[in-house]
Structure 1
Amino acid sequence: MGNPVSESFLKSLLLGVIPIVLGTLIFGVILESYKSDLNFRGDIMKDYYFPLITKERQCSNLSITLADDFTQKIGLYNELIKRYNAGKDGSGPRLTEEYKSYLVDLLKKVSEYNSNSTKHSQELATCREELNQDYINIALVTGTIDEFHKYKKSLDDSLSALNVESQQKNDEIKKMLFGVNVDEIINEFFMAGDMTDERYSSSNKTDIAIKTVMPSLLKFFAFKAVIEYKANNSYLNLSESYNSVLEKEISSRYKRNWLSRILN
């Protein structure tokens, strides 16, 4: 028969040790879960959220730059028209080499902004494709894909309406510019500074273009700038709405682990 004192001591020891062991194991599991949640949250911020914010800003800046390209072209074309009319009615300066260099610089700037608008348009299209993929990636990782698709549909509906409007204007301007010889107009532009040039007296292509083409072309540039501002605002609305969902989801990961529940 065992010693009652020893049995009692062993029972007390076991009853004391078992909770400690179990508590240590449970606390370890909770702690590891907490660390895992923190690490996962950190990975989301570093690998998905911060790059997304950077891409959103990049695309928005490109959109603003593209709209500015169109606005700048309006000012440059208006200056060219002003200089042409002044040369034609005799109120402008003589076509000296210095003045000719000024006019050439104006034309170069027009060409530069034409090239820039094409370049920026292509860069913006690529940026927005990458942005959409970034949205999908973080939506899948955070489990917010349904919320993203809801806001994306609103964006798509807005862009679709803008595209229909823009395509109609594009078709109109293409039809208006059909058959216009830009080289002839530019050559005549410089002849306008020399009223003795026989080629100028026998041609009026620039006059016709200024009266019939340029007003519509300048309105088209203004229209394209407005369309781009509207498109950018649509993307900003998506960013503001969906980023709010992401921030709440990422923040809530602090509260969805066992240790946080215990501490709270």
Structure 2
Amino acid sequence: MSVDENKINFKKPQWLRKKLVPHAQKEMEDLLGKHGLHTICQEAKCPNISECYAKKNATFLILGNICTRRCTYCNVHTGKPTEVDLAEIDGVTESVIKLGLKFVVITSPARDDLPDGGAEQFYRVTQNILKKSPGTQVEILIPDFKAKEKSLQRAVDSGAVIIGHNIETVPSLYHIRRNASYERSLQVLKRLKELGGEKVKTKSALMVGLGETEEEMIQVFKDLLAVGCKFLSIGQYLAPSGEYEKVKEFVKPEQFQRYKEIALDLGFEFVHSTPYARSSYLAHEYLSKDKNSI
């Protein structure tokens, strides 16, 4: 590795130096700990964790915190998952009610050990929230479920207003997504839209800074639109530690703005494209009546 490559992985530019709010973070973690719950915010070391926790926003991680895949960019632990915990259905709902959340995001690690990939748990958690907190909307961010039709149907039937599945990166870099494929992820998004129709919005997310080109990114935009996906987030990849994929570039804010303009011009309905954008960051804004402005 060259000296320049070393520097880029350890010295962040000014626009990536986000302030933390430790008190707010501890308060939320204490509440989640009472119910034995996990958030992807914690597991993935999300840089927005303090900001979101301060606003009482969190993306709940169901089906445990152990993933059956070993993607080389993701901080979620890999190993043998625990049994499905039915108690988390009420645990998540009670936390939603206690926090007074009006918009909730539910996600999970990949659970290839389960016949349905965990789809039934997504359905039960979402339905429980909608039943006991009728003023709350739910977004679910699902793994690919190996594109199983019954699992995708269960996700659509859950009542979630947005169903997300992250494409993550461009096809030439898909080696970082172990046991996944670009074509399968597109097929998942296509079937979700076909099964859900107008009642379901589909959403995806892309990381940048891994060596992708603008031309490759634009092609992914077109591929997503071709399968009916109209919501998109684009954010800077940040390596959790030196053991993960290396950052090749800290993409400048003006390039994020350019990606947003291109994506909106192509036909996306809403785009979050900033260095700190993540798939669940400011998730409620995607359904805002205020349309994106360039």
Per the shorter chain, which TM-score range? under 0.3
Richer in strand (by share): 2
Richer in helix (by share): 1
Q: TM-score, normalised by structure 2?
A: 0.21
Higher relative contact order (CA 8 A, sep 6+): 1
Structure of higher CA gyration radius: 1
